[in-house]
Structure 1
Amino acid sequence: MAGDDTSPDRPTRRNSRKHERAGSRRGSEQSERTRRDYLKYSGAVLGGTLLAGCTGNSNGEAAETTTESETRTTTETATQTPEEDTSYSVSMAPVGEVTFDAPPESWIAYDGGYADMGVALGKCDSMTGIGGAGRYYTYYYDELPGVSIDRDTIENNQLSDAGMSKEIFYELDNEVHVMDPEMLKNWFGWKQEDVDEITNNVAPFVGNLNFRREDEWHNYRYYTLYEAFEKVAELFQEQDRYEAFETLHDNFIANIQRQLPTADERPNVLLVYAGSDRPEEFSPYRLNDKGTSKKQWNDLGVGDALAGTGIEGLSTTDRGKIDYETMLEIDPDVIMLRAHERKSATEFRETVLEFMRSHPVAKELSAVQNGRVYRGGYLFQGPIHNLFLTERGAKQLYPDVFGEVTGDAELFDRQRVADIVTGEF
């Protein structure tokens, strides 16, 4: 199967059904109120009735006398207990502080990393869609007893299908948008007034684009994977689950790092993107930018093969590519190739690696000759993804220590992860 990603850093706007669905949304908006508008309207009518003192009922019975009504109202007012204020705030760059009356009951993320955070916090059922389903990999959930995601809902409600238009935000009518609004402005042409409109009429944004750190427009704070995860836990008021994940993660990483070879015995890695089974050109990534998509490689202590070469990583403004001749000048110990995450390790070796072995230039690369070309992991990864990808990376890089990548060795407790997600911890 060819690479499922169509672009190395953002999905192409898929236009099949786009105009049909957009037309449907416009018709829907013209013919009915949104759920939130209806609730606000109903609340106003109900409140008005109560304030009016219930002047009558459907059976036409006489209204209570003024004296009786005033007496009961006075008594109720005297004995009524004030409602407890359950509001709370979450502060995350670039939006800043956002206040919620209660945890959101419906939400959508732009990318699979934030979607995975929501799943880790037990919010599978309230996720209404995603930015693009193609890069949200959910097959690892199959290894977690009792954890699943409704792929039909995710695939039927993709923001990218509607060209990231405001209409689909109105249609899905979520209570929070877990995404960075600056991404909408810099990737999809939104204006600040568009962000304000959706914030005021639908729901706020909470999120920070942190999978890489090479975009010039991102001139505000970045968050590590677990810093962002903690903010999402605050958003959903699931701090206990977050803390359980943090403990599991820290112990897992510490256990792996204790077993790593010394620094001078670790390989250097070239991380690139190419969606073809017969790749000729590659978009390079830099491991030194500390983006969340490189977390496992940094935790596993590898060197960046592009260090000192002058080659910059892929960004919004840098779309440069390298070929096999450039690779041969670098001759990395290991090549990690993104955009093949729906292949198994064996399928990848039988397609991409076999092509490289037959290529007149690629076959001269040490990594190709030694069979050290692997799948490079997700562009967007959350805490569950990261556990699996770190385990896989440890096997890819250090098979003598952790076992072959095609083997069945497990380096962390799947049941423990499932228990945290399902609340049994």
Structure 2
Amino acid sequence: MVRDSDALPNATRRDYLKGGSGLLVGGLLAGCSSGSGDTTTTAGTSTETTTGTTDNTTAAGGPYSVSMAPMGEVEFEEVPETIFTRLTHLAGMAFALGRGNDVNAMHAPGYYDALWNQFTPRLPGVELDWTGLYSSWTTSKEKLYSLDSDVHLADPASVLALDNWDMADIEEVETNISPWFGNQYSHRHTEPPAAYADSYEYYTLWEMFEKVAQVFKDEKKYEALAAIHDDVLATIEADLPDASDSPSIVMGGFSDPSAPYIYNVDTPGFLTAHVRPFNPVDAFGDDVKSGSRVDMEALAQADPDVILVFGGLHPSYNMSEIRTTLKDDPVGQTLTAVQNDRIYPQGGRYQGPILNLFQLEMTAKQLYPDVYGEWPEYTEGPYPDIPAEEQFFDRDEVAAIITGE
């Protein structure tokens, strides 16, 4: 099973680069990625693959190619400028590479602009504006012609699953407009449409990010951020309590606290990349399928130690109201998480690399405050200003990588 929380070697990627030819210059790690053996699950089977800095890419100008399932080898004449996306894990990768404002389409742009900009205030000099973009969840071929994007950072398998799309349409867009380059079903390792079943592979968030960085010939930024990610995982692993001490968790959308949507915390896929490193215990176990809606009685029967509220950092959410509603409910007030005031906000499910760094830090503090430091009581506003000595990563360094400074 591919996991974002694969065990780290004794030395992190940053240690490796510092010890070799890599140099930290202005917050960026110079040098390229070394090859590494990664396990990739393909349609339910696990195979060893070797990844390097590029897949047949050229060092300078001219055509180049990058390979990722389900597309296979994708050729580019030049580095893309305008970027079509659907889901925010890929839009977030463009953002991490300093290309966030080159995105011209995404699912629910107003919502995700507001959510992502709860984190940008902690990244000096980083700005993002996704307001007014085309909302692309149910996109049409005609709209793609109108946008005329240089690359479609979207999974063609997921687009094929939309109404009024067939393989001829997918191929027409690739031929007449620009390539597809994306992978959605790695979110929970679910089955793609039959037409792509034989070519599909599942990637971790950071494996996919490496591929996207190759598309934009910006492997240095990927390497610098991946080194920070390795450091964050190493920090978590160094002090992680025994699995027997793990709190039970319910993670879900609580816009209606009496009937929340529940998402499993221990399934494979990048939707849980910020929770799985903590050996989470799902309060519902296998009794509830991810994305299901439950009532208060079912929540009480699960009786979680911790409740994680997806989207809780979004300005439209009112964490105080959610807590009060649960405390005032005759059934909700019996929950262990409610009685112990352990109801915490989260960010986005389709997280990109930058949100993943923040969400690893916040989840560590929410699950194990005695180990990783207290998570501030959050009611509204941007991501809390954590004291520097309690941060899992340097905000200035991450900001400098994004902006290229």
Whether TM exceeds 0.5 here: the answer is yes
Of 145, 151, 155, which aligns to 2:124? 145
1:246 aligns with 2:221: no
Of 71, 85, 94, which aligns to 1:95? 71
Q: Distance in 2 between matches of 1:359 and 1:375?
A: 20
> Which residue in the other structure is 1:64 paired with?
none
Q: Distance in 1 between matches of 2:316 and 2:122?
A: 15
> Which residue in the other structure is 1:169 paired with?
144
Q: Which amino acid aligns with 2:129?
A: D
Q: Distance in 2 between matches of 1:274 and 1:191?
A: 36
Q: Distance in 2 between matches of 1:97 and 1:169?
A: 22
> Which residue in the other structure is 1:335 paired with?
307
Structure 1 unaligned regions, length at least 5: 1-83, 315-319
Q: Distance in 2 between matches of 1:135 and 1:187?
A: 22
> Which residue in the other structure is 2:11 paired with?
none
Q: Which amino acid aligns with 2:349?
A: L
Q: Is the 8 A contact 1:111 1:135 kept in 2?
A: no
How far does residue 369 in structure 1 lie from its aligned partner after superposition? 0.9
Q: Distance in 1 between matches of 2:264 and 2:182?
A: 23
Q: In structure 2, the residue corresponding to 1:182 is in which secondary structure? A: helix
How far does residue 389 in structure 1 lie from its aligned partner after superposition? 1.1
> Which residue in the other structure is 1:313 paired with?
290
1:273-292 equivalence runs, <5 A: 273-276=253-256, 279-292=257-270
Of 288, 296, 299, which aligns to 2:277? 299
How far does residue 254 in structure 1 lie from its aligned partner after superposition? 0.6
Per-residue CA deviation, residues 225-262 of structure 1 (Å, 9 max, x unaligned), is 00100110111111111111111110122112212222
Q: Is the 8 A contact 1:272 1:338 kept in 2?
A: yes
1:183 aligns with 2:158: yes
How far does residue 272 in structure 1 lie from its aligned partner after superposition? 2.1
Structure 2 unaligned regions, length at least 5: 1-59, 377-383
Q: Is the 8 A contact 1:212 1:289 kept in 2?
A: no
> Which residue in the other structure is 2:396 paired with?
415
- Which has more radius of gyration? 1
Of 269, 283, 301, which aligns to 2:249? 269
Q: In structure 1, the residue corresponding to 2:84 is in which secondary structure? A: strand
Of 336, 344, 348, which aligns to 1:374? 344
Q: Which amino acid aligns with 2:306?
A: V
Distance 1:198 1:229, change over 3 A: same
Q: Distance in 2 between matches of 1:387 and 1:187?
A: 32
Q: Distance in 1 between matches of 2:189 and 2:227?
A: 30
Q: Which amino acid aligns with 1:312?
A: K
What TM-score does the superposition give when structure 1 sets the normalisation length?
0.72
Q: Distance in 2 between matches of 1:273 and 1:125?
A: 28
Distance 1:188 1:376, change over 3 A: farther
Q: In structure 1, the residue corresponding to 2:250 is in which secondary structure? A: strand
Distance 1:341 1:185, change over 3 A: farther
Of 71, 90, 112, which aligns to 2:88? 112
> Which residue in the other structure is 1:6 paired with?
none
Distance 1:189 1:132, change over 3 A: farther
Distance 1:342 1:125, change over 3 A: closer
Q: Distance in 2 between matches of 1:212 and 1:306?
A: 20
> Which residue in the other structure is 1:25 paired with?
none
Distance 1:85 1:241, change over 3 A: closer
Of 236, 248, 253, which aligns to 2:216? 236
What TM-score does the superposition give when structure 2 sets the normalisation length?
0.75
Of 355, 365, 384, which aligns to 2:354? 384
Of 335, 357, 360, which aligns to 1:365? 335
Q: Distance in 2 between matches of 1:414 and 1:363?
A: 38
How far does residue 85 in structure 1 lie from its aligned partner after superposition? 7.1
> Which residue in the other structure is 2:41 paired with?
none
Q: Distance in 2 between matches of 1:171 and 1:158?
A: 14
Q: Distance in 1 between matches of 2:356 and 2:74?
A: 28
- Root-mean-square deviation (Å): 2.2
Give the number of aligned pairs: 327
Per-residue CA deviation, residues 325-354 of structure 1 (Å, 9 max, x unaligned), is 112222121122224331499x41x11011
